Structure 1
Amino acid sequence: MEEYSSRSRLALAGLLGPVTLIGGVFFLVPLTIMAIYSLLEPGLYGGVEWSFYPDNFGRVLGWADGRNEEFDPVYLAIILRSFKLAAITVLSTLLLCYPVAFWVARQSRRMRNFCLFLITLPFFTSLIVRLYAWVLLLRPSGFINASLQGMGVIEQPLDLIYNEVAVLIGMTYIFIPYMFLPIYASVEKLDRHLLEASADLGASRWQGFWRVTLPMTLPGVAAGAMLVFIPSLGNFIVPSLLGGARVLMIGNLIEQQFLAARNWPFGSALAMLLMALVFICLLLQVFVQSRARMKAARQ
């Protein structure tokens, strides 16, 4: 028995060893370097000076010394805007994907497979190409404005691009598959007999949805929400192409600090703050899900 246990542990170590090594080399090592850089002084012409410098975080959180670095509330405004746009993206993708997932789940097997193929089809096309397609659609001389002007609906082109609405359209379009697939997986496993039983017991359609359908599909909704929220929060490609200089998110700010300003320590500090916020969100999700499981177990 002990020999079998040791063999199983060795087999498990052999399976997990390469993954752990790759994760350590390509994730933990860069993360450690970034954490160290965030506490170093920025060099005069880029790079870093190897001296302790906590004011990189102070520029955002408020303890800058006021001489070398100053607290600027614009950074907090950018972070709050990023949270707002990411949350709205989650809500918009949820409103689009939740009813469609139920519709797809009721189709025949061949139709379901075809719909899933259409949902995953954008993954086979470059993200930049898809976003430039939206630029062609939304710009003042683009397809939407040209069509509306041709039909006489509007006289002047609408301001559809380089604003928060355009960014939300682009991020919603990109992250729809990330929301749809987890929700569809939950909906497909939904036991229809439970809905029939609730109807037999006198529950209305709304009560059946609120008491049966929603709790059983909530894990898929939570998984989809996190899969959409985290990359939306740090996204910088969509705001760059569809938001322009008017919509600056935390991902764009980090990109500018590393590439344009060459202030690697401040860019590292912003990246570490973003990772800390994401980690807090994940902890909140785990806490809420554990509370829900405990509540369901008591019932």
Structure 2
Amino acid sequence: MTEAATQPTRAGSRPPQTARRARARARLVPYWLLLPGMLWLIVFFALPMVYQASTSVQTGSLEDGFKVTWHVAAYWDALSAYWPQFLRSVLYAAAATALCLLFGYPLAYVIAFRAGRWRHIALVLVIAPFFTSFLIRTLAWKTILADGGPVVGALGSLHVLDVSGWLGLTEGHRVLATPLAVVCGLTYNFLPFMILPLYATLERVDVRLHEAARDLYAAPFTVFRRVTFPLSLPGVVSGTLLTFIPASGDYVNADLLGSTDTRMIGNVIQAQFLRTLDYPTAAALSFLLMAAILIVVTLYIRKAGTEEIV
């Protein structure tokens, strides 16, 4: 036996095998902590996705039952039949996202840099709409945009409806059941999703950078263009993604504020699932929508040139 093997173990020290087991258990701790979340994703995301994928390649009817026949042509048939709704969904979601950025950025800027002691109250007011049902908030816009309401009257007196009618957003002096109404509903409902990431990014901007830029005789707009906005790009990317993705699949606003001419792809999927009962077509449309959103988001993130997403 060697001398090292014959020496007794020092008091308070662990044998090498026990230490290795302790290190192995320590390495497994993060995986045990991830296990509940992974199980949740598998049960409520991965398995339904697999089931939807199998449904999209089935054929049959509700009376005779559906069978997996690998009918992949259902994807092309669905896209050929409903491509206008796909395009309309992307356009409406993009318009609502642009309006949310236009309205949300100044508000987030004021809350982050100018609100002072009123900052927390302003944030509560931003998230206050979440205390009310999404459906009720959308129904309220039917009253706001009613034909004889003050909003339509004011827009008509300012000749805004004449311009929007020329652009195809409204019909005459009517706002309800038009693309403008749907975009307004989407903008209102998803505006907090734009404001909160923007505020979270702007709030971390060091105000001493603004002071340094002003000390170098930079104009206020130059300070915003060269300092504030570049530093807030992660919030812009996050806010646009959080707004565009749910808005493109929304169907409540188009159903309550629009008409048959403003149907989005979410309305088609909802009708195919619950009214027509054409499950393969509905599943194929769902996967096409997810693929389209994934492509748009990937291209947008690569174009934005930022990996730091709030």
What TM-score do the two structures reach when normalised by structure 1?
Answer: 0.84
Query: Where does the alignment leave 5 or more consecutive residues of structure 2 unmatched?
Result: 1-18, 162-171
Report the equivalent of 1:287: 302
Distance 1:124 1:223, change over 3 A: same
User: Does the 8 Å CA contact 1:42/1:266 hold for their aligned counterparts?
Assistant: no
Whole-Å separation in 1 of the counterparts to 2:189 and 2:277: 30
Structure 2 counterpart of 1:242, from 236, 242, 257? 257
Whole-Å separation in 1 of the counterparts to 2:301 and 2:213: 29
Is 2:119 the partner of 1:112? yes
Structure 2 matches for 1:80-119, cutoff 5 A?
80-119=87-126
Could you tell me how far 1:108 is from its partner in structure 2?
A: 4.9
Residue by residue over 1:255-281, the C-alpha shift from the partner in whole angstroms, topping out at 9 and shown as x without a partner, is 111111111001100000111112223
Letter in 1 for 2:54: I
Whole-Å separation in 2 of the counterparts to 1:177 and 1:134: 17
Structure 2 matches for 1:1-299, cutoff 5 A?
2-43=20-61, 45=63, 48-61=66-79, 71-72=80-81, 75-142=82-149, 144-145=151-152, 158-288=173-303, 291-292=305-306
Moved more, 87-96 or 100-109: 100-109
Could you tell me how far 1:285 is from its partner in structure 2?
A: 4.2
Report the equivalent of 1:66: none
User: Does the 8 Å CA contact 2:109/2:202 hold for their aligned counterparts?
Assistant: yes
Whole-Å separation in 1 of the counterparts to 2:266 and 2:64: 20
Report the equivalent of 1:68: none
User: Does the 8 Å CA contact 2:210/2:227 hold for their aligned counterparts?
Assistant: yes
Distance 1:18 1:204, change over 3 A: same
Report the equivalent of 2:13: none
State the secondary structure of the residue aligned to 1:246: helix
Letter in 2 for 1:130: R
Residue by residue over 1:62-98, the C-alpha shift from the partner in whole angstroms, topping out at 9 and shown as x without a partner, is xxxxxxxxx43xx212111111110111100000011
Moved more, 76-85 or 192-201: 192-201
Query: Where does the alignment leave 5 or more consecutive residues of structure 1 unmatched?
Result: 62-70, 295-299
Moved more, 196-205 or 113-122: 196-205
Q: How large is the RMSD of aligned CA atoms in angstroms?
A: 2.6
Distance 1:2 1:222, change over 3 A: farther
What TM-score do the two structures reach when normalised by structure 2?
Answer: 0.81
Could you tell me how far 1:37 is from its partner in structure 2?
A: 1.1
